[in-house]
Amino acid sequence: MDFYLDSSDTVRGIPGALVMHGYDSPNSRIALYSLRMLPEEPVKRFIEAIFTISIPKFKPNGSFHAVTRLAAAALIAHHNPVTSDFGPGNAVSRFFFQKARGAKITKEVATHI
């Protein structure tokens, strides 16, 4: 029996993970978040502000930097639900709001993620 957390073949486990996380179908399409619609400089500043990257492959120009950008996009996209669930005073929401504001990523810009 395939286990969806099996790290030896993660792609084969995606349908099981989708069903376990409430999707209606194991064939549901997966949409990845993207920062392509945002100006590059604010994105760069935001990533530098929220992540301490010590692995060269995850740094800019590294072969896995797309993963870093995807993680940043997901954090921005989930900011509103997290704030709604835990209130605007929670430490996570405050941290990301301050870093996004410092990077000049506004609410209007973030709606394009």
Q: Model confidence over 15-72: pLDDT tens digits?
A: 877 888 888 888 887 777 888 888 888 899 999 999 999 999 999 999 999 999 999 9
Count Cβ atoms below 10 Å from residue 62 Cβ, excluding itself. 14
CA distance 59 to 81: 28
Q: Model-level pTM?
A: 0.68
Residue 6 in tokens = 């099996």
Q: Of 64, 66, 47, nearest to 55 (Cα)?
A: 64
